[in-house]
Amino acid sequence: MTSDLDLDELRRNCGYCAIHDFRLPAGLSAGDLQTLNATARDMLPLDRGQTLFPQGRQFGALYVVRAGSLKTFVEGSEGDVQILGFHLPGDIMGIGGLINEHYPCTAQALERTSVCELRYAQLQEVIANLPALNHQLMRVISGALVDEQSHLVLMGKQQAQRRLAVFIRRMSDRYARLSRDPLALILPMSREDIANYLGLALETVSRLFGKMESAGVLSVNRKSVQILRRDLLDELCGGDIDMA
Amino acid sequence: MTSDLDLDELRRNCGYCAIHDFRLPAGLSAGDLQTLNATARDMLPLDRGQTLFPQGRQFGALYVVRAGSLKTFVEGSEGDVQILGFHLPGDIMGIGGLINEHYPCTAQALERTSVCELRYAQLQEVIANLPALNHQLMRVISGALVDEQSHLVLMGKQQAQRRLAVFIRRMSDRYARLSRDPLALILPMSREDIANYLGLALETVSRLFGKMESAGVLSVNRKSVQILRRDLLDELCGGDIDMA
DNA sequence: GCGCGGTTTTGACCGTGGTCAAACCCCGGC
DNA sequence: GCCGGGGTTTGACCACGGTCAAAACCGCGC
């Protein structure tokens, strides 16, 4: 029923995205994939700065990043912003909206970005007949939770330098999983975004980049970050527990 | 089939716990409840300091707090600890273990505590036949994620005083949901735990309690915290976005 | 090429909250 | 009752990183 060609086709759509980057242990059949794919819908690409969904909007769908990147953040009543995370291809977004029917944060593109949409109503129907997919979705959500917790540990009492070092190492690891060069990062977010995400001032981030550069760990040029000495970087990260 | 008496019985077991404190919108029938209840298993009560599950142990079950309280924390290789959360009756624990088959954190009782256990293998079977329960479980996990995010916002760039104020307000809200007096808190955790959880030094927490007491907001005596002026407390919390 | 705006870097200063240390208090055990 | 010890409070000092300000850099449009 499913030829090699069909599978190839699947590999280029969101169904495959989801499978691949949900970090699923290959629990789904080709047929499952097709069913999942039928519920996925491509969307118009977003330009830099455009929002995928704003904080407070009625929940309706999950999204999977196909290309590009986004940030999610919450905005306080006093206009203060806290960035919650950065999202690369394969990441799933919008899970927080499940709990009370509204997205708890805004998702905004950091560059030209395309995503595909999984209408939740449809997804529910599909899931009801596919226990494997159901379990995998659960795992993905659990993974998101654990990622948040890792970040929390970082924000707890870690030194500024360690925060940045861990941030870079995690980005490197994520790039590796995407088959990008893990030693030549092109960071899509601004210094201000990084600083906010890490709970630091942007000047501090800038200074630390400088410091790590003169220490020979990195070579930094605006958005481009080369990791020259992974061993030293690991040292700066210290006994960081990475739960993911 | 299900008399009033039976329902009363259910109200005293974990099935009801879960329903009630999962913040579910009454999507489950009495029959569903009974099925769920059949998978739940009471455990021996834990004494203060005993661990429910240690970081790294093979994942096998979710747990619902029935009475008492616990903390969850991760331990770094250098012996450093970060507390992730405090868990009161009705809270579900162990979700993080789904992603990679191991609990990512330790859960330890803060006082004499009883929980009940939902073996995940059994739960999965039950879920497969109960879409409503499945959806609710998803919502619970989503809620846990959003709670983590709220905490992240707090740890981001908020002043020490605001952190403590928000912490107390959240505890008050949780007590209210448990039908406890929301203005007379008995906190089961130590100052050190609070400080660690909030990313502060325990001396700072102690000082802030003192400060809020002389400001007439609270009356503090060891583990007992009375909220005297909820309006002032709210003021200290500022434009805190509570996503839950 | 030139000039403008946004981002990043660098510098000087300062404040919040951390660290170290001692006193204190409460509760339990003997 | 008395003593002992963990948890908590209070005090003095200090450092990390934040804030304010200005300069430098870079990309982009005209």
Question: Does B138 fall in a domain?
Answer: no
- Contact, B192 CB vs strand D, < 7 Å: yes
Six-digit token string for A18: 């989801």
Return the higher-pLDDT residue of B73 and A27.
B73
pLDDT average, residue stretch B162-187: 95
C-beta separation of B148 from A148 below 8 A: yes
| Residues paired with B186 in a beta bridge | B224
What's the angle, vertex CA A244, arms to CA B156 and CA A39, rounded to 5? 95
- Based on the number of CB atoms within 10 Å of its own CB, is A244 exposed (0-12), middle (13-18) or buried (19 or more)? middle
The pLDDT of residue A5: 46
Structure confidence at residue A40 as a pLDDT band (50, 70, 90): confident
Nucleic strand D within 7 A of Cβ A155: no
Answer yes or no: do A31 and A125 share one domain: yes
Same domain? A87 vs A170:
no
CATH code for the domain of B101: 2.60.120.10
CATH number at residue A223: 1.10.10.10
pLDDT greater than 50 at residue B3: no
Is the Cβ pair B149, A84 closer than 8 Å? Answer: yes
Which of the four pLDDT bands, split at 50, 70 and 90, describes residue A133?
confident
Are B121 and B175 within one domain?
A: no
Do both A106 and A129 map to the same domain?
Answer: yes
Per the structure, the residues numbered 177 to 216 in protein chain A that have their CB within 7 angstroms of any atom of strand C are: 190-192, 202-203, 205-207, 209-210
Of A150, A185, A201, the residue at which a domain comes to its end is A150
On whether residue A47 sits in a domain, the answer given is yes
The whole-chain average pLDDT of chain A stands at: 86
- B102-118: average pLDDT: 94
The answer to whether position B66 is within a domain reads yes
Q: Is B70 helix (H, G, I), strand (E, B) or coil?
A: strand
**What confidence tens digit (pLDDT) does each residue in A106-115 have?**
999 999 998 9
- Whole-number distance in Å between A187 CA and D30 C1': 30
Predicted confidence band of residue B25 (pLDDT cuts 50, 70, 90): very low
Average pLDDT in chain B: 86
Q: Residue A109: phi, psi to the nearest 5?
A: -75, 140
Shortest distance, CA B38 to any CA of chain A (angstroms):
20
Q: Looking at the structure, tell me whether residues A78 and A131 fall in a common domain.
A: yes
CB-nearest to B148 from A149, A199, A240 is A149
Residue ending a domain, choose from A125, A150, A175:
A150
- Partners of residue A142 in chain B, C-beta under 8 Å: 95-99, 141
The residue of chain A with its CA nearest to that of B158 is A199
pLDDT, one tens digit per residue, over B37-94 is: 767 777 778 999 999 999 999 999 999 898 899 999 999 888 899 999 999 988 999 9
Q: What is the DSSP letter of A218?
A: E
Q: What is the structure's pLDDT at B1?
A: 45
Q: Residue A242 falls within a domain, yes or no? A: no
Pairing of strands A40-42, A51-53: unpaired
Mean pLDDT for A13-28 is 51
pTM of the model: 0.90
DSSP secondary structure, A115-145, as one string = EEEEEHHHHHHHHHH-HHHHHHHHHHHHHHH
Same domain, A42 and A15: yes
Say yes or no: A10 and A116 in one domain: yes
> Where in the sequence is the domain holding B211, given as residue range(s)?
158-237
> CA of A192 vs C1' of C11, distance in Å?
19
Tell me how many domains chain A contains: 2
| Residue A24: closest CA among A139, A115, A127 | A139
Q: Do A76 and A126 lie in a common domain?
A: yes
Say if CB B109 and CB A59 are below 8 A apart.
no
pLDDT tens-digit readout, A146-179: 999 999 999 999 999 999 999 999 999 999 988 8
Q: Do B12 and B81 share a domain, yes or no?
A: yes
Which is higher by pLDDT, B109 or B34? B109
**Tens digit of pLDDT for each residue in B179-219?**
899 999 999 999 999 999 999 999 999 999 999 999 999 99
For residue A98, is it within any domain? yes
- Give a yes or no: residue B135 inside a domain: no
Max distance between CA atoms of chain A, in angstroms, equals: 59
pLDDT confidence of A28, banded at 50, 70, 90? low
Last residue of a domain, one of A107, A134, A150: A150
Q: Is residue A35 part of a domain?
A: yes
Co-location of A102 and A175 in the same domain: no
pLDDT at position A50: 93
Look at residue B145 and tell me if it is in a domain.
Answer: no
Mean pLDDT of B138-148: 93
Q: Which nucleotide is nearest to B193 (CA to C1')?
A: D7
Q: Judge whether residue A201 has pLDDT over 70.
A: yes
Are A146 and A170 part of one and the same domain? Answer: no
Residue A13 has a pLDDT of 57
Q: Count other Cβ atoms within 10 Å, centred on residue B31.
A: 11
Q: Are residues B162 and B109 part of one domain?
A: no
- pLDDT at residue A69 tops 60: yes
Answer whether residue B26 shows pLDDT above 60.
Answer: no
- d(CA A140, nearest CA chain B) in Å: 7
